[in-house]
Chain A
Amino acid sequence: MANSVEIRGLSRAFDGNTVLHALDLDIREGEFVALLGHSGCGKSTLLRILAGLDDEIGGEVTVPARRSAAFQSPRLLPWLKVWRNVVLGLPGRPDRDLALKALDEVGIAERATVWPKTLSGGQAQRVSLARALVREPELLLLDEPFGALDALTRGKVQALVAELWRLHGCAILLVTHDVEEALLLADRVLVMDEGRIAHELTVDLPRPRDLTAPEFVTLRARLLNWLGVTRTLEGTPS
């Protein structure tokens, strides 16, 4: 399958402080890639570059023209009703039917005409997903979109993302620091460290994935080990 994203020799420095070191990465069309790493490892910087929000870079990046993003905070405009937020920036007059369709897909069409302030965190994040998907992106960038949600809501929204990915078939790059989340959702998990892709793991487990399956536990242990997290209870190294 053809590549959706091609990154060649990408580097980025802030005031002489190099954050990305000559990074190479391909993402295939329709592939779900999770990017793991400690804070400050450069994963959010990479995502911002792919989003086109940062072009002070060295090297070359090829991305689809149709791409969109959802962020850790939903970033809805508080002065626009929910449905107007969904179709913000689309050419032509605000298309209410299109917005309702997108909101229906994420399961909150009934909240279309309220102000964003009245939404719960999970609802706002769903609207943010609807806003990203209504653009029919070929590449969807997700910057820790579940990070601010409580555990119960997070599970539901993760399942929703898996379902939406199956329906839309777009390539997804998910930046996260949650190992289980990466393994639940992604085809491939990359571990970033000090501006380089330090490790790569192909997850060929059947979907939907089972957190308690032995293969899953093995992969999780391997990722945690790469991240330098050793869970030692009673002295057993993981």
Chain B
Amino acid sequence: MTTKPLNAAVLPVQSAPADTVQPTARVTIRGRAKTSRRFTVPRSVRRAAGPVGLVLLWFLTSATGVLPESVLASPVDVLRQAVDLTKNGELPSAIAASGRRAAIGFLIGATVALTLSLVAGLFRLGEDVIDSSMGMFRAIPWVGLIPLFIVWFGIEETPKIALVALGVTYPLYFNIYGGIRSTDAQLVEAARMMGLGRFGLIKYVILPSALPGALVGLRYALSTAWLALVFAEQVNADAGLGYLMSNAQQYFRTDVIVLCLVVYALLGLACDFAVRILSRRLLTWRANFEGEA
């Protein structure tokens, strides 16, 4: 590089007019670094304070009679019911029946979603045929299909499983399809240049890049599965959490109803937790993934 020195005269000399001279504004930055170890409440404790406080409020209002049992049972009663129903085996068998429906429905829905999204994602023809249809079906509120499902499948297990399967299919399909289609064209080009064939491209480039989207879809799908189950089990169940709930409703047992809601919530949380663990293990290559802890 032969950059020649510029003439000094070329540069305009920076000088402010004399009459507008102002004192330069200055700010002082004071040190705020903690030098002494002051006591601070740990973040986890602060985060737990809200929920714990609400349960405490629930307990106090129930104990003082402000919240009558006919409206909402006290947390102590709910806990007692949990112990009793576990001891006599009603709660475990209800969870098993509901879990079975959720699992079978999820497996069917996931298989359908995976097949459809692969066909639509990988083939132009598949996209033309499947994707527009999926867009159309998604516009139908799936909960509204319960009456139709009863007409088609009766009132036994089938309509319940079908509803779960349907609820699972949409979020998985759209997320996997989107993931496949958002594959970086530059990576595909480089991989082709390196000699990967069609099968190799799908295995090493397209499916791995669809994985983050698929895992997001899985989280949605699992929460939708439990939601669909709650709806489905309101209809003529003879076993399961929904059955327990509708029975309790007839006898105004708010403690059992609340217990069932809590169990639904815990099952949903457990699934969510499982997917998050799975994501962390499968997506270690993403340096930005969720950070630590």
The yes or no answer to A115 lying at the interface (CB within 8 A) is yes
Residue of A nearest to B207 (CB): A79
Complex: A53 Cα to B189 Cα, angstroms: 7
Residues of A within 8 A of B209 (CB): 79
> Are B286 and A77 within 8 A (Cβ)?
no
Within 8 A of B (CB), among A108-150: 115-118, 131, 135
Contact string against B for A residues 64-92, beta-carbon threshold 8 Å, 1 for contact and 0 otherwise: 00001101010101111000000011110
Given the known A-B contacts A68-B194, A88-B204, are A79 and B285 also in contact in the complex, defined by CB atoms under 8 Å? yes
> Are B285 and A75 within 8 A (Cβ)?
no
Complex: A52 Cα to B189 Cα, angstroms: 10
The yes or no answer to A51 lying at the interface (CB within 8 A) is yes
The yes or no answer to B4 lying at the interface (CB within 8 A) is yes
> Are A88 and B286 within 8 A (Cβ)?
no
The yes or no answer to A152 lying at the interface (CB within 8 A) is no
Residues of B within 8 A of A115 (CB): 284-285, 287
Interface of A is mostly: loop
The yes or no answer to A234 lying at the interface (CB within 8 A) is yes
Residues of A within 8 A of B211 (CB): 79
Residue of A nearest to B212 (CB): A79
Residues of B within 8 A of A117 (CB): 285-287
Residues of A within 8 A of B286 (CB): 78, 117
Complex: A69 Cα to B186 Cα, angstroms: 13
Complex: A234 Cα to B2 Cα, angstroms: 13
> Are A79 and B4 within 8 A (Cβ)?
no
Choose from B190, B195, B204 the contact partner of A80 (Cβ within 8 Å): B204
> Are B205 and A77 within 8 A (Cβ)?
yes
The yes or no answer to B187 lying at the interface (CB within 8 A) is yes
- How many chain A residues sit at the interface, stated as a range, is 20 to 34
Residues of B within 8 A of A73 (CB): 186
> Are A234 and B4 within 8 A (Cβ)?
yes
The yes or no answer to B193 lying at the interface (CB within 8 A) is yes
Complex: A116 Cα to B187 Cα, angstroms: 13
> Are B4 and A233 within 8 A (Cβ)?
yes
The yes or no answer to B268 lying at the interface (CB within 8 A) is no
Complex: A89 Cα to B287 Cα, angstroms: 24
Chain B nearest Cβ from A120, distance in angstroms: 13
> Are A77 and B193 within 8 A (Cβ)?
no
Given the known A-B contacts A53-B189, A77-B208, are A131 and B285 also in contact in the complex, defined by CB atoms under 8 Å? no
Chain A nearest Cβ from B126, distance in angstroms: 24
Choose from A78, A131, A234 the contact partner of B194 (Cβ within 8 Å): A131
Residues of B within 8 A of A69 (CB): 190, 193
Chain A nearest Cβ from B166, distance in angstroms: 32
Residues of A within 8 A of B3 (CB): 233
> Are B208 and A75 within 8 A (Cβ)?
no
Residues of A within 8 A of B204 (CB): 77, 80, 88
Residue of B nearest to A91 (CB): B195
> Are B187 and A77 within 8 A (Cβ)?
yes
> Are A75 and B186 within 8 A (Cβ)?
yes
Centre residue among B192, B204, B211, B286 by max chain A CB count within 10 A? B204
Known A79-B211, A131-B194; 7 more pairs at CB < 8 Å: A53-B192, A69-B190, A75-B190, A79-B209, A80-B204, A88-B194, A90-B195
